[in-house]
Amino acid sequence: MAAVDAFLSTPLDAALSRHREVDPAAGALALFHEVAATVPAYRRFLDEHGVDPAAVRTPADFAALPVITKQNYVLRHPIADLCRGGRVESCDMVAVSSGSTGKPTFWPRSVADELPVARRFEQVFHDSFRADARRTLAVVCFALGSWVGGMYTTACCRHLAAKGYPITVVTPGNNKDEIFRVVLDLGPAFDQVVLLGYPPFLKDVIDTGRARGVDWAPLRIKLVMAGEVFSEEWRSLVGERVGSTSPCYDSASLYGTADAGVLGNETPLSVAIRRFLAGRPDAARALFGQDRLPTLVQYDPAARFFEQREGMLLFSGENGVPLVRYAILDSGGVYAHADMMAALAGFGFDPRRELDGERGARELPFVYVFGRSDFTVSYFGANIYPENVVVGIEQPGVKEWVTGKFVLEVREGADRDAYLSVVVELAPGEGESEARREAAARSIEEHLVRLNSEFRNYVPAGKRAPRVTLRAAGDPEYFPLGVKHRYTRKPGG
């Protein structure tokens, strides 16, 4: 297979310098014409919007194309029609993501579709972890099964092993006892151990291990994370607990979705920048326009084409379901490499001075991500919808003393542990009690487990129960009168 041969034979440096030789906008335009010609659903979508593909000739024409979303495109067409030639059988794997009603969305892919994503893993393992020269045990701690995280990660790590990296993959999934067993039994035979999972779950693994007497430091732990924004204080705390001495190199977060795989990844350079900005909120606000710190990653513009539109990220790229100007509903933006370096220089900071040589300092553009711009929150990598939570407070024994309004958010405790917070509005004249808080929490948890397969499979049983707070009707902080109610809050929001 040509794509596999090219991946295996092309050095990382050559692959990541290709963007200098191609015009990413021209590549996106070529992708558009290919998808318009070969994907039945996209051709119908263009017809519905009065778009003649032949008239789309320039980057400006491309930028005027209608935006596609899961709702207006993916969910409206049979799965086969979303694939090239209307042939879902051209894909050999299907991943699943949860929807707001609990009905899954299916994302088919082929081995060729995995390779651009495997390149992101290669960049992390090579540039951050030096896994080209270190015997590495890769421990997949994402949930296994039809969900995208575990199986996709496993496939990508095995692609790296096939390329010649001394990487051995083991897949305990999100079973903590099995993670401890494989890490403690196998880890000492390797130069380093990489744990791959959702940030709060990995922290739970690390803290539980410490409580059981596990000494993480001799195992030379590295972390690959996805799914959630975390603070640099969190990175420092978790790093200290595993004996990390190089925060820019010992962990990396991936930016990706079930829709498209991994779109970008943290690098030593981006981590150095983010750690500087964590201590300079004035600089962070100047760069990103908000008083909160986004995830900051670099991406390969020859593989994925990003646009920023009204504070929302759009991307175009190859996949089993190829997507053109697709909105994942993530808020954020993009920076050219030179623009980012110039902006930082204005604050007297050169991140390259924080690095150990040139490895990890590639001249790739940046994308920053604040998180979902819709009404979901992400907890242990599971997208949680207000529609799931409302079912829990509409049950007998709860619905009699609440209004139906609530605010859902993910918070951090004193030890940087994430927890799910639900603030519920009491009906007029009703009072709070511990019994009522417990009843609401039990009901919300029960129906989240029932309705949301990601919550059920990603969130450890001991972390599922929300912390419920009951507030009086019209509470000015959470339920002000005369204001359109928002059912979720983002960190720092």
Report pLDDT digits (tens) over 375-416: 788 899 898 988 788 889 888 899 889 988 899 999 988 888
User: Residue 15: what pLDDT?
Assistant: 93
Helices (H), 279-433: 281-288, 337-345, 386-393
Q: Which of 11-20, 91-100, 275-284, 471-480 has the lowest mean pLDDT?
A: 91-100
Q: Specify the amino acid at residue 279.
A: G
Find, among 239, 193, 184, the residue nearest to 215 by Cα: 184
User: Residue 259: what pLDDT?
Assistant: 82
> Stretch 105-119: mean pLDDT, rounded?
93
pLDDT, tens digit, 9 for 90 and up, residues 416-455: 899 999 999 998 889 999 999 999 999 999 999 988 888 9
Mean pLDDT (the chain) is 92
Is pLDDT of 374 > 80? no
- Residue 77's pLDDT band (cuts 50, 70, 90): very high
Give me 239's structure tokens: 């790093």
pLDDT, tens digit, 9 for 90 and up, residues 201-255: 899 899 999 989 999 999 999 999 997 777 888 899 899 999 999 999 999 999 9
> Stretch 481-489: mean pLDDT, rounded?
77
Classify strands 312-317 and 261-265 as parallel, antiparallel or unpaired: unpaired
pLDDT, tens digit, 9 for 90 and up, residues 292-331: 788 999 999 999 999 999 889 999 999 999 999 999 888 8
Q: How many Cα atoms within 13 Å fall on the side-chain side of residue 381?
A: 32
CB burial of 359-382 (b: ≥16 within 10 Å; e: otherwise) equals ebbbebbbbbbbbbbbebbbbbbb
Is pLDDT of 272 > 90? yes
> Stretch 117-141: mean pLDDT, rounded?
98
> Stretch 64-76: mean pLDDT, rounded?
95
Report percent pLDDT > 90 for the chain. Answer: 71
Helix (H, G, I), strand (E, B) or coil at 297: strand
Classify strands 323-335 and 366-372 as parallel, antiparallel or unpaired: antiparallel
Is pLDDT of 483 > 80? no
Torsion over CA: 333, 310, 29, 72 (sign): positive
User: Residue 416: what pLDDT?
Assistant: 86
What are the structural domains of the chain?
A: 108-374 (3.40.50.12780), 382-471 (3.30.300.30)
Is pLDDT of 48 > 70? yes
User: Residue 305: what pLDDT?
Assistant: 95
For the chain, the C-alpha Rg in angstroms (whole number) is: 23
Helix (H, G, I), strand (E, B) or coil at 268: helix
Report percent pLDDT > 70 for the chain. Answer: 97
Is pLDDT of 359 > 90? no
Is pLDDT of 67 > 60? yes
Is pLDDT of 100 > 60? no
Is pLDDT of 464 > 90? yes
User: pTM for this structure?
Assistant: 0.84
- Residue 492's pLDDT band (cuts 50, 70, 90): low
CA–CA separation, 116 vs 17, rounded Å?
14
User: Residue 98: what pLDDT?
Assistant: 67
Is pLDDT of 101 > 60? no
User: Residue 102: what pLDDT?
Assistant: 59
Return the DSSP state at 488: B
User: Residue 1: what pLDDT?
Assistant: 75
Find, among 108, 201, 202, the residue nearest to 151 by Cα: 108
CA–CA separation, 19 vs 300, rounded Å?
7
Is pLDDT of 118 > 60? yes
Helix (H, G, I), strand (E, B) or coil at 341: helix
Find, among 8, 19, 24, the residue nearest to 362 by Cα: 19
User: Residue 452: what pLDDT?
Assistant: 86
Q: Which of 73-77, 184-188, 377-381, 465-469 has the lowest mean pLDDT?
A: 377-381
Task: Kindly give, in sequence order, each residue whose CB lies less than 8 Å from that of residue 345, ignoring residues fewer than 6 positions away.
Answer: none
